[in-house]
Amino acid sequence: MHQRARRYQIAVCGDSEIQNKEQGEIAYAIGREIARQGCTLIQGGRGGVMEAAARGCLECGGLTVAILPSASFSEANRYSQVVIPTGLGWTRNSLVVLAADGVIAIGGRGGTLSEIAYAWMYGKPVVAITGEPSIQGWSSILAGKKIDDRRDDIILSANSAEEAVKILIKEINNRREKMG
Residue in 1, 77, 8 with CA at minimum distance from that of residue 43: 77
Range of the domain at 134: 9-175
Q: Is the pLDDT of residue 2 over 60?
A: no
Domain assignment of residue 180, yes or no: no
CATH of the domain at 96: 3.40.50.450
Domain assignment of residue 1, yes or no: no
Which band of pLDDT confidence, cut at 50, 70 and 90, is reported for residue 5? confident
Average pLDDT over residues 166-178: 94
Q: What is the pLDDT of residues 59-70, one digit of tens each?
A: 999 999 999 999
Domain assignment of residue 75, yes or no: yes
Q: What is the pTM of this model?
A: 0.95
Going by C-beta distance under 8 Å and a sequence separation of 6 or more, which residues neighbour residue 65?
9, 40, 41, 42, 43, 80, 81, 82, 83, 84, 99
Domain assignment of residue 153, yes or no: yes
Domain assignment of residue 3, yes or no: no
Percent of the chain at pLDDT exceeding 70: 97
Domain count, the chain: 1
Q: What is the pLDDT of residues 32-89, one digit of tens each?
A: 999 999 999 999 999 999 999 999 999 999 999 999 999 999 999 999 999 999 999 9
What is the C-alpha separation between 87 and 54, in angstroms, rounded?
A: 21
Domain assignment of residue 34, yes or no: yes
Domain assignment of residue 4, yes or no: no
Q: Is the pLDDT of residue 97 over 70?
A: yes
What is the C-alpha separation between 95 and 82, in angstroms, rounded?
A: 14
